[in-house]
Amino acid sequence: MNPTGPRGLAANQRLQKTIRNQVLFTRAAKMLGRPVAWVTSGSPVEILLAAGIIPFYPENHAAICSARNMAADLSDVAEAEGYSRDLCSYFRIDRGAMVTQKTPLGRMVAPDVVLASNNICGTVQHWFSITARHFEVPFWFVDTPFTEASPSESDVAYVRDQLVELAEQAGRLGGRRVTEQRLSRVVARSREALVLWREVLATAAARPAPLTSFDAFVHMAPIVSMRGTRRAVRYYRHLLAEVSARRTSGTAAVPQERARVVWDNIAIWPAHRELKRAFKQAGVALVADTYTHAWTVEHLDPSDPFTSLARVYTDILLNHGALHRHKVLARMVREFGADGFILHSNRSCKRYSLGQLGVKRAVSDETGALGVVIEADMADPRAVSIEHLMQRLNPFFEALGGGT
């Protein structure tokens, strides 16, 4: 409790309810015979939804396991099988969960198919093929070429061909043919949620910021795991109304906001609460991050669903080089009026963390903002030390005019 601070977002309760409903819906749909697909966060899920297949997100599930303090135990199971601790912690947690069937969500819903795309990393290709073998179900895969910046037309055409084939297979499994018309409706819903989410995040450009990335890290759950559904659109309409009202009334997420910073990489779930509190105490508002902003792509075009899906799912931050990532981060520093930026060197996510020292220097040179690199892990508490994080963050906060 912070007597000087405002209440947390009212949407926090709605979020819990929304996630719970989604879990119940998935379970009920499975019981009624609807097929379930385990998918990566960067999967073209709109095609599955149009075919009547229900998606389940192991990455999201792993983050929830980490937040509920189950990460170490589940990882141990995967490590005992011989999977190295140097592998992605989301994978190790998911592996532990699929083997033990332990989940904070009550019961695991087994997949009828597994879908992955290498647009977020190469690890998921192996992770999801292991999952497919474990459950003895088909493994679908979308190959998205890695490009320095925007994909070329031939890259988009290559991915589009795969999506058309995926739609045929999904239609057969789901029992509902994926017509352009059906797909277009799902894409329109996805687009609506993405635009709402972008507007939610954009409110943090106000001074003081009405919400921080610590809120966004949590409230991104529906955009990751429910985009393409009406549930996500409804959710973000409410959230946008609330944060817009906070902006209008000048309600600060961080009372006495003295400095503003931007974040790169995935959240540190095991330290989420402690970090949120430390930032608040120091008067430092985390106003934007490359992680939650990754779901703000706007190329989605309901009038040309296949091509626009191909473009969106290839044109993903992690599917581009460090030069592009530096530009995105520098733009974010400017747009959100940040004084500094934090690069979370995430032990689990090599694709996200590679080249960060160069990115740090380039963004500092370009914007004049102070950068700091902190080492942690998105989900494995054994690789996260609050003490070590604060040793770097305290001088950083002080240099920005925040701190105790």
Partner 1 sequence: MSRFVGLDIGSSATKGALVCDGQVLRCVIVPSMPDMLAAARQAVAALEAGDAPVLTTGYGRALFEPRIAQVSEITALAAGIGRLHPEAKTVVDIGGQDSKVVRVAEGRVADFAMNDRCAAGTGRFLEVMSRVLHVPFDRFDQVAASDVAPLPVTSTCTVFAESEVVGLLSGQAPPAGILKGVMASISVRIAALARQVGLAAPVFATGGAMHSQALVAALSDALGMPVQVPEAPQTVTARGAAWLCAQRQSPNRSTGV
**Interface with partner 1 includes 195 (CB under 8 A)?**
no
Instruction: Return the closest-CA partner of residue 232 out of 8, 22, 9, 12.
Output: 22
Instruction: Return the closest-CA partner of residue 289 out of 237, 240, 338.
Output: 338
Q: How far is the CB of 171 from partner 1 (least distance, A)?
A: 50
Q: How far is CA 90 from CA 41, 60, 126, in A?
A: 12, 9, 13
Q: How far is the CB of 41 from partner 1 (least distance, A)?
A: 28
**Interface with partner 1 includes 256 (CB under 8 A)?**
no
**Interface with partner 1 includes 16 (CB under 8 A)?**
no
Minimum CB distance to partner 1 smaller for 57 or for 279: 279
d(CA 126, CA 273): 32
d(CA 177, CA 69): 41
Q: How far is the CB of 286 from partner 1 (least distance, A)?
A: 19
Site size with partner 1, rule: CB under 8 A: 21
Per CB under 8 A, which of residues 328..367 are in contact with partner 1? 357, 360-361, 364
Minimum CB distance to partner 1 smaller for 88 or for 390: 390
d(CA 12, CA 217): 12
- Contacting range for partner 1; rule: CB under 8 A; set: 20-28, 30-38, 93-101, 389-397: 389-397
d(CA 292, CA 93): 21
Minimum CB distance to partner 1 smaller for 200 or for 384: 384
Instruction: Return the closest-CA partner of residue 34 out of 57, 56, 16, 62.
Output: 56
Minimum CB distance to partner 1 smaller for 192 or for 257: 257
Give me the phi and psi of 155, to 5 degrees please.
-60, -45
d(CA 252, CA 8): 10
Minimum CB distance to partner 1 smaller for 154 or for 404: 404
Minimum CB distance to partner 1 smaller for 250 or for 358: 358
Minimum CB distance to partner 1 smaller for 308 or for 356: 356
For the chain, first and last CA: distance in Å? 18
Minimum CB distance to partner 1 smaller for 307 or for 394: 394
**Interface with partner 1 includes 370 (CB under 8 A)?**
yes
Q: How far is CA 242 from CA 121, 239, 260, 285, 305, in A?
A: 34, 5, 21, 18, 31
Residues whose CB falls within 8 Å of the CB of residue 65, separated by 6 or more in sequence, listed in order: 71, 74, 93, 97, 103, 104, 379
DSSP for 56-104, written as a single string: E-HHHHHHHHHHTT-HHHHHHHHHHTT--TTS-HHHHHHHHHHHH---T
**Interface with partner 1 includes 373 (CB under 8 A)?**
yes
**Interface with partner 1 includes 281 (CB under 8 A)?**
no
- Contacting range for partner 1; rule: CB under 8 A; set: 223-231, 247-255, 274-282, 396-404: 396-404
Binding flags for partner 1, 59-98, as an x/- string (CB under 8 A): ----------------------------------------
Minimum CB distance to partner 1 smaller for 243 or for 343: 343
**Interface with partner 1 includes 101 (CB under 8 A)?**
no
Q: How far is the CB of 398 from partner 1 (least distance, A)?
A: 4
Q: Which residue has the tokens 């985390």?
A: 286
Among 234, 337, 375, 382, binds partner 1 (CB under 8 A): 375
Among 372, 377, 378, 379, binds partner 1 (CB under 8 A): 372
Q: Using CB atoms within 10 A of its CB, is residue 368 exposed (0-12), middle (13-18) or buried (19+)?
A: exposed
Minimum CB distance to partner 1 smaller for 172 or for 277: 277
**Interface with partner 1 includes 391 (CB under 8 A)?**
yes
Q: Where are the alpha helices (DSSP H) in 206-354?
A: 213-219, 221-225, 230-249, 272-282, 305-314, 322-335, 350-353
**Interface with partner 1 includes 394 (CB under 8 A)?**
yes
Which residue ranges make up the site for partner 1 (CB under 8 A)?
357, 360-361, 364, 370-373, 375, 385, 388, 391-392, 394-396, 398-399, 401, 403-404
